[in-house]
Amino acid sequence: MKRRSLRITTLVALAVCVLCACASSPPSDGASSAAEVKIYESAQLAQNQYQLLRYLPVDSWRTAFWLPTYASQAEGLASLQAEAARLGADGLIDVSCRDQGSFTGFTSGKPAFLCYGNAIRVGRNAQ
C-alpha cells in the first residue's frame, strides 16, 4: 500500500514539474527592460491608441491559487513593469496597488500590497 502511494505521489510531483516548465513563455521582441515600460493614467490614452496584451497578474493560471503580494507599492509596480517588459509591452494602464494590511492569510505582521494593471503596446499595432 505504501509503495503505491509513493508511486502516485512521484507521478503527481513529476506532472507538476512538467506543467510549471510549460507555463513560461519566451521573451518578446518588445520593450527590452522594465525601465522602458511607462505607467499611464487612464485619461492619458484613448482606447484606439494602444493594444491590450494581458491583464497582470490575473491572466496567469497561478492566480487561481495565489495572488502575489509585495512588501511595498514600489516593489509591486517594479514587478508589473518587469512582467510587462517580458511580454513585449511598452506601457501599463489602469494600474492599482491595494494595501492588504498586515494579514494575508498565511503570513501576518508584514505589509502586503496587491498590484495589478493592464500590459499594453502603445501606438504600433494598436487597433
Neighbours of 8 (CB within 10 A): 10
4-35 residue pLDDT tens: 665 666 655 555 544 444 444 444 454 558 88
- 112: pLDDT strictly greater than 70: yes
Q: SS3 for 9?
A: helix
Domain boundaries, the chain: 30-122
Rg (CA), the chain: 18
For residue 83, name the pLDDT band (cuts at 50, 70, 90).
Answer: very high
CATH class belonging to 30-122: alpha beta
- 120: pLDDT strictly greater than 90: yes
User: What length is written for the chain?
Assistant: 127
**Could you tell me which of 27, 29, 39 has the C-alpha nearest to residue 80?**
39
Q: SS3 for 104?
A: coil
- 70: pLDDT strictly greater than 60: yes
pTM, full prediction: 0.66
